[in-house]
Structure 1
Amino acid sequence: MKIGIITWFTGSNYGTNLQAIALQYYLRKKGHDVSIVNYVVPQSVENCEESSFLKRMVSFSKDCIVNLIMRRYENAIHERDIKFRNAIRNNCILTDKIVEESDLINVLNKFDILIFGSDQIWNPNWYNRFYFADYDGISARRISYAPSIGVNSIPQKVSVDIERSVKKIDFLSVRENKAADLLSTFLKKKPEVVVDPTLLLSADDWTKIFPQRKIEDNDYVLAFFLGKEKDHFSAAKRFAKKHKCKYVLIPYKYISYFQNAIIYADAGLDEFINLVRGAKYILTDSFHMTVFSIMYEKQFYTFQRFIEDEHTSQNGRIINLLELTDLMCRYVPYGTSDIKDVDDIEYEKHLEKLNNKIKKSKIFLRNSINA
């Protein structure tokens, strides 16, 4: 089959790039002719009220901090971004770049099937019809594989658009239980919940993509936080000291660049995966870092990244994964500054349910394509 994938594949988010590589790699292994649709949705410019003096001062302070980071880590960050682009170029096939939305229909109809891939492409806070191929005149069959809504509710102002868009999908799956619940209000049948594309590949598959190599000697704690909660960084430092390990950090938000750690500011996808492989412990609030911690059977702790009652909370995907593997004991409450040790994970008894879910997800994808 000639398959076009519609997903995010740019920027310096590790999970975004890894899921894009994973889905195309898996489908190509199954013998399909696969390309990512090379169209990047323009960012909308919101009208906003003039900031108050206090807000402007806070913004100024952050700008100063960002400038400090950029001066110190400019070359490393530039090198990281090059690595991201090279990883996509080396592992994915993209269509010719599409500049105008008006050209999309002709490109999309060159495929037999369109698959809307993973990550939060269906987050209602930045809804765009492109991520549903919601255009008149589309002849290609439409399948969604593990897109995420990401939040706890769909705002009323976009609910009509999302209802119209999802009803055009021929075979519908999502990544989280919450997303299935939210979309089921628009549909006669509840969407299937499947695993993230990164889990469609085995550890051996990932080794073929990013060959194994040692980056750090001796025992180390690897930390990677998408959030900026100070207590989580304090907890990571204390944990490394308590366990007499080096403290290694892949930075993301500006606060992470100021930590007293071995900082890999230039870490691309290769370093990300290999630092996971070599770590003795992993501390994170990232869904995809948790995925790879489990895949490589690491001792890990995953921090709650959002306060649970927040409208924009994205905790659901991590909770689903930890519940599926019976590893909720590794979930650390938001704002924790000192981690309480629990017994080491004996992975054999935790992976059976996950492996069954992976098999069912592959069956969904196969049946949807072959229907």
Structure 2
Amino acid sequence: MIGILTFYWADDYGGMLQAYALKRRLELMGERAEMVPYAPIKLRGRYWLCPLCAERKDWGLRYFFHRYMFKENLRQGWSFWARRWAMGRFRRKYLTAKRPARGVRDLLEPYRTVLVGSDQVWNPDITVDLDDAYIGNIPRREDCRLVAYGASLGGKRLLEGDREKFVRHVKEFSAISLRERTDAAYVEELLGRKVRDVLDPVLLLDAAEWRRAAKPPRERGYILLYLTEYHEPLLRCAQALSKELGRELLSLSRPSTLAGGYAQTVQTRSAGPAEFLGYLEHADCVLTNSFHGTAFSILMEKPFLAFRHSTRNNRLEDLLDKLGLSFHLAEEARPEEVLKRWAETDREEVRRRLAEERERSLRFLTESL
């Protein structure tokens, strides 16, 4: 049995779908795999109606109630619970129905290999200090191998204390790969050993495989918006494109990302991962500042434009560069540029490059197992 140690517990499209993709890919390779039921409250508490968040202090972890997130959850009303239910349904159906383990003592006992990743499992800002389980500082049997697949630091450079702890434990991994080239080069320098860069797990499955998990929407003829933070140029472009094409705007984003008077945007707040896939598959085009919004647009071969995030662009830039799609990344854009850039895209070349990168990533995965 192979265990997958990742953010499967996150009520987040990208986090849940990358976990699904890695598990599904292993199953297609003839392996038995499951999620390691590790879901610490310091991380999953942020998704509750009354969000319980954590931050690190010199003396340890400080837990606190996040008032702003609580108010936003209340404003969503029934749709908060509908979305949470849809997330839970997908998790139970495709990932695991196990309850999170209370401790880590025997957590890895069933597994001969544990895959750590993908996602930002090594970013101390996300995991609230370097998390012992994700860096391998966790009890396991002698014949249990740790392999990092598509792990990420999110472009972070570790502080001295974190760096020493990271090197001490991660050097014990049997094989290591990261999601971003820059992160891979940094970790390779820290550890003094070969580290590979690989594709995010969602790109290990093709569009046909993703359609198996998708739930088609009733809506048709829309422009899909998926924002992970408020982005004024993206929303201006979306409004203009909506008028030009005569298509409505449909958003899967949190309400706070649409501030500023975009009331004409239809917000679908109750969608889970299956609905997310369905909405993306049937969109006329996609505007996003999300990595996974971009990745699925590429997989589904949708006209798209990716806008820069204020802080997190490494993996987005890396993916678009690998596939020869860097011209789809924008700071600002006029509406006609969306379809123009798509018309200029050599889709056959993109398919070829994606197939090469997928084969290279799968080779690492196969050799590591």
TM-score by shorter chain over 0.5? yes
Q: In 1, are the aligned partners of 2:214 and 2:276 still within 8 Å (CA)?
A: no
State how 1:303-318 maps to structure 2 within 5 Å: 303-306=307-310, 313-318=311-316
Q: In 2, are the aligned partners of 1:283 and 1:301 still within 8 Å (CA)?
A: yes
Q: In 2, are the aligned partners of 1:304 and 1:331 still within 8 Å (CA)?
A: yes
Distance 1:253 1:46, change over 3 A: farther
1:338 deviates by: 4.4
Distance 1:162 1:221, change over 3 A: same
Q: In 2, are the aligned partners of 1:221 and 1:240 still within 8 Å (CA)?
A: yes
Q: What CA distance in whole angstroms lies between the structure 2 residues aligned with 1:75 and 1:318?
A: 33
State how 1:330-341 maps to structure 2 within 5 Å: 330-333=328-331, 336=332, 338-339=334-335, 341=337
**Which residue in the other structure is 2:364 paired with?**
364
Judge which range, 113-122 or 244-253, deviates more. 244-253
**Which residue in the other structure is 1:196 paired with?**
200
Q: What CA distance in whole angstroms lies between the structure 1 residues aligned with 2:116 and 2:286?
A: 31
**Which residue in the other structure is 2:324 paired with?**
326
**Which residue in the other structure is 2:20 paired with?**
21
Q: What CA distance in whole angstroms lies between the structure 1 residues aligned with 2:21 and 2:301?
A: 19
Distance 1:123 1:72, change over 3 A: closer
1:96 deviates by: 5.2
Normalising by structure 1, what TM-score?
0.85
Secondary structure of residue in 2 paired with 1:209: coil
Secondary structure of residue in 2 paired with 1:302: strand
Q: In 2, are the aligned partners of 1:121 and 1:131 still within 8 Å (CA)?
A: yes
Of 282, 286, 290, 1:282 maps to 286
* Residue 167 of structure 2 corresponds to residue 163 of structure 1: yes
Normalising by structure 2, what TM-score?
0.86
Q: What CA distance in whole angstroms lies between the structure 2 residues aligned with 1:353 and 1:134?
A: 37
The aligned length equals 341
1:190 deviates by: 3.1
Distance 1:41 1:97, change over 3 A: closer
Q: In 2, are the aligned partners of 1:124 and 1:155 still within 8 Å (CA)?
A: no
Q: What CA distance in whole angstroms lies between the structure 1 residues aligned with 2:248 and 2:140?
A: 57
- CA displacement, residues 217-248 of structure 1 (integer Å, 9 cap, x when unaligned): 2x321111001233332332222223322111
Amino acid aligned to 1:256 = L
* Residue 131 of structure 2 corresponds to residue 135 of structure 1: no
Q: In 2, are the aligned partners of 1:143 and 1:368 still within 8 Å (CA)?
A: yes
Distance 1:20 1:239, change over 3 A: same
Amino acid aligned to 1:88 = R
Q: In 2, are the aligned partners of 1:36 and 1:94 still within 8 Å (CA)?
A: no
Secondary structure of residue in 2 paired with 1:282: strand
**Which residue in the other structure is 1:178 paired with?**
182
**Which residue in the other structure is 1:309 paired with?**
none
Amino acid aligned to 2:33 = V
1:70 deviates by: 4.2
Return 5+ residue gaps in structure 2 as ranges: 43-53, 59-65
State how 1:66-105 maps to structure 2 within 5 Å: 67=71, 69-93=72-96, 97-100=100-103, 104-105=104-105
Q: What CA distance in whole angstroms lies between the structure 2 residues aligned with 1:23 and 1:70?
A: 30
Distance 1:253 1:121, change over 3 A: farther
Amino acid aligned to 1:131 = Y
1:339 deviates by: 4.9
Q: What CA distance in whole angstroms lies between the structure 2 residues aligned with 1:242 and 1:153?
A: 44
* Residue 275 of structure 2 corresponds to residue 271 of structure 1: yes
Secondary structure of residue in 1 paired with 2:175: coil
Q: What CA distance in whole angstroms lies between the structure 2 residues aligned with 1:179 and 1:134?
A: 21
Return 5+ residue gaps in structure 1 as ranges: 49-58, 307-312
1:13 deviates by: 1.1
Q: In 2, are the aligned partners of 1:36 and 1:92 still within 8 Å (CA)?
A: yes
Secondary structure of residue in 1 paired with 2:4: strand
State how 1:243-282 maps to structure 2 within 5 Å: 243-252=245-254, 254-256=256-258, 259-260=262-263, 261-282=265-286
State how 1:55-70 maps to structure 2 within 5 Å: 67=71, 69-70=72-73
Secondary structure of residue in 1 paired with 2:146: strand
Amino acid aligned to 1:251 = S
**Which residue in the other structure is 1:215 paired with?**
218
Q: What CA distance in whole angstroms lies between the structure 1 residues aligned with 2:36 and 2:97?
A: 6
